[in-house]
Amino acid sequence: MAANESHHILPLPRFDKPVKLLIVVAPYYKDIADNLIAGARAVAAEAGAAVDLVEVPGALEVPAAIGMAFRMADYDGFVALGCVIRGETTHYDTVCNDSSRGLTMLGLSGACVGNGILTVENRDQAVVRADPDGQNKGGGAAAAALHLVALSRKWARQTKGIGFKPAGEEFRIAGKNEGPARA
């Protein structure tokens, strides 16, 4: 049974420069969303990160809002929060799969995203997972975003060559020296 499992939790990263996170939450189930936010804020504060918060109508809008902020705003990382409870139709599957896929695609595009959108069978499961003094999935999503920010900063200044030429090597066009390769 999963309740008897123990899990290893990485210590929070430490930062030399300030970190700014954006929490994007779908407050459809307001009490659950509020607990997810409280957990995320507490973990961000523990790591010394500043936090902004925006609300969107539902879980499907969370990736769109993060995508816009990733392209147009100045945040280091993003925390996706919300809750999807199984209902009587297949809409649950669509919302779970598409919101998760959207967040995954953002991550693969370079956004530092922690996914704290709960996908549960019933309200009781959501309450336990959202509780900052319980499973604290909001805090876990903030921690995930912070770890990705740390990796992003670690690798930010490393460059690789472009095309077939290593970085720093000169390139030639039509036999003329056009200067150093550009990275």
**Residues with catalytic function:** 91
CA distance 117 to 112: 15
CA distance 101 to 92: 14
Q: What are phi and psi of 4, to 5 degrees?
A: -95, 0
The pairing of beta strand 170-173 with beta strand 176-180: antiparallel
- For residue 26, give the nearest of 72, 65, 74, 77 by alpha carbon: 65
CA distance 71 to 110: 11
- For residue 140, give the nearest of 119, 107, 114 by alpha carbon: 114
CA distance 176 to 172: 5
